[in-house]
């Protein structure tokens, strides 16, 4: 009698967490003992964030179910309601799919639904990137997911140590590195000119007459998201960053913010600056940038500015100078290429200048060696799943 495959259900809600599980999906698909199920939800289905479910499909993954869960509003109330709606929809789908293990990635508000729903349904939960320290509500969600999960795939040794200190059995905690690093190291290397040429082909015309990027000129990369625990401050915070960027002649490639509470405030500031005749010409804004292009932007940027985890987790692999603004990535493990600064336009501008003048830093491989996806698939295929009823230890 043929042995039944272990059913692994992976969940993804946005472009960021998909990059954290893509190589896991690849490895699970290839593994003879595993069967992949894929549920796509959240901002993947929204036009305003680029409807990235199409990229998931373009990469060859079969989507078993898609969940509409995002409630309009862009505030803490809509975030909380979105989690509730996500749980309602996900419960029905998991009841149909009957997976052996659910993969719940990272730490965003959608992730709370991803971890709590299967845990309540007595399904084993495998958490990606637990044990890390940052700012905003992500910090609380990440640690809550650790306590809801049965298997823990951490990205660094220190993260493993924190998970164990939180009371999780050592035999359930694995230091595999970050699957996002796998993707980073797999991506085909392009020249700076080739990268900008590819970007120009998909340039979003945010205003009439928007010119393409000059492929022969240097550029800064800017990605800044709202900090949910500082709701109400996103407008001033984004203004400070934009004012600082105006002091430089560099072109600026801007990625649209995520949909956390406060994102509408950031979007309004971005629109204000792109329609300003004095500043808009050098700002090029994109709803979504495919991973293979974004990685090369990160590789060739004169510097990265903002508060994206890409500046912390990924830029170190290229030695790209980073100006990390505000508290969103507070205390996260980072390389020598990162300079931290508060929400002050003068200090941000000074930090950008210093990073431009410094140039590239030595490469530091902090978040794994590019084999996380394969390691995770092999562990899922061979590990003895712990009791569904967790026992608290100290």
Q: Per residue in 124-182, pLDDT tens?
A: 999 999 999 987 788 999 999 999 999 999 999 999 999 999 999 999 999 999 999 99
pLDDT, residue 48, reads 86
The reported pTM is 0.89
Does position 73 have pLDDT exceeding 60, yes or no? yes
Which residues are CB-neighbours of 91 under 8 A, at least 6 positions away? 117, 120, 121
pLDDT, residue 208, reads 41
Cα R_g (the chain), whole angstroms: 21
6-178+368-382 and 188-358 share one fold: yes
- Which of 64, 7, 70 lies closest to 40, judged by CA? 64
Contact status, residue 224 vs residue 258, Cβ threshold 8 Å = no
CA distances from 127 to 130, 148, 158, 173, 241 (A): 6, 9, 16, 10, 33
Number of H helices, E strands in the chain: 14, 13
Q: What are phi and psi for residue 384, nearest 5 degrees?
A: -85, 115
Q: What are phi and psi for residue 151, nearest 5 degrees?
A: -125, 140
Helix (H, G, I), strand (E, B) or coil at 6: strand
Q: What are phi and psi for residue 253, nearest 5 degrees?
A: -90, 120
pLDDT, residue 239, reads 96
| Composition of the chain by helix, strand, coil, percent to 5 | 45, 15, 40
CA 75, 283, 42: angle at the middle one, nearest 5?
A: 35
More confident position, 123 or 209: 123
Helix (H, G, I), strand (E, B) or coil at 101: strand
Residue 393 CB-density burial (10 A; 0-12 exposed, 13-18 middle, 19+ buried): exposed
Reported as a single tens digit per residue, the pLDDT across 88-121 is 999 999 999 999 999 999 999 999 999 999 999 9
- pLDDT bin (cut points 50, 70, 90) of residue 241 is very high
Does position 19 have pLDDT exceeding 70, yes or no? yes
Which residues are CB-neighbours of 149 under 8 A, at least 6 positions away? 104, 115, 119, 125, 126, 127, 130
- Edge-to-edge strand list for the sheet holding 303-306: 283-286, 251-255, 219-223, 303-306, 322-325, 338-341
Determine the Cα–Cα distance for residues 21 and 17; give it in Å rounded to an integer.
7
Domain boundaries, the chain: 6-178+368-382, 188-358
- Which of 184, 85, 105, 201 lies closest to 146, judged by CA? 105
Dihedral angle over CA of 285, 58, 378, 315, nearest 10: -20
**Range 188-358 classified under CATH 3.40.50.300:** no
Determine the Cα–Cα distance for residues 50 and 139; give it in Å rounded to an integer.
26
Does position 287 have pLDDT exceeding 90, yes or no? no
Does position 202 have pLDDT exceeding 90, yes or no? no
Contact status, residue 271 vs residue 238, Cβ threshold 8 Å = no
pLDDT, residue 135, reads 76
- pLDDT bin (cut points 50, 70, 90) of residue 201 is confident
- Which of 352, 163, 170, 173 lies closest to 246, judged by CA? 352
pLDDT, residue 392, reads 72
- What mean pLDDT is predicted for residues 254-280? 85
pLDDT, residue 259, reads 87
Does position 209 have pLDDT exceeding 50, yes or no? no
Maximum distance among all alpha carbons in the chain? 72
**Range 6-178+368-382 classified under CATH 3.40.50.2000:** yes
Task: Determine which of 87-96, 200-209, 366-375, 384-393 has the lowest per-residue pLDDT on average.
Answer: 200-209
């Amino acid at each position: 009698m043929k042995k039944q495959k272990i059913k692994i259900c992976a969940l993804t809600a946005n472009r960021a967490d998909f990059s954290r599980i893509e190589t896991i999906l690849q490895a699970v698909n290839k593994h003879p003992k595993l069967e992949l199920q894929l549920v796509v939800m959240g901002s993947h289905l929204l036009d305003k964030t680029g409807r990235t479910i199409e990229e998931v499909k373009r990469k060859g993954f079969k989507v078993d179910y898609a969940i509409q869960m995002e409630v309009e509003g862009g505030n803490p109330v809509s975030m909380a309601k979105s989690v509730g709606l996500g749980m309602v929809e996900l419960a029905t789908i998991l009841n149909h799919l009957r997976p052996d293990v659910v993969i719940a990635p990272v730490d965003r508000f959608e992730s709370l639904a991803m971890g709590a729903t299967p845990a309540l349904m007595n399904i084993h939960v495998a958490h990606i990137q637990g044990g890390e320290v940052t700012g905003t509500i992500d910090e609380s969600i990440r640690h809550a997911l650790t306590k809801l999960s049965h298997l823990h795939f951490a990205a660094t040794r220190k993260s493993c140590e924190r998970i164990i200190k939180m009371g999780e059995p050592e035999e359930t905690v694995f230091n595999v590195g970050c699957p996002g690093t796998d993707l980073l190291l797999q991506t085909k290397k392009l020249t700076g000119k080739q990268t900008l040429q590819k970007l120009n082909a998909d340039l979003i015309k945010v205003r009439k007459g928007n010119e393409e990027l000059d492929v022969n000129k240097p550029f800064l990369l800017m990605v800044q998201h709202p900090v949910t625990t500082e709701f109400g401050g996103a407008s001033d915070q984004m203004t400070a960053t934009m004012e600082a960027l105006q002091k430089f002649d560099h072109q600026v490639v801007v990625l649209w913010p995520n949909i956390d509470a406060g994102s509408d405030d950031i979007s309004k500031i971005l629109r204000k600056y792109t329609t300003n005749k004095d500043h808009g010409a050098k700002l090029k804004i994109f709803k979504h940038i495919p991973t293979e292009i974004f990685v090369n932007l990160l590789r060739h940027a004169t510097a990265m500015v903002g508060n994206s985890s890409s500046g912390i987790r990924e830029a170190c692999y290229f030695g790209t100078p980073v100006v990390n603004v505000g508290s969103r990535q507070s205390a996260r493990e980072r390389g020598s290429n990162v300079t931290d600064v508060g929400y002050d336009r003068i200090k941000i501008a000074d930090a950008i200048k210093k990073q431009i003048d410094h140039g590239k830093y030595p490469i530091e491989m902090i978040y794994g060696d590019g084999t996380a996806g394969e390691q995770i698939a092999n562990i899922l295929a061979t590990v003895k799943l712990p009791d569904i009823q967790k026992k608290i230890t100290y």
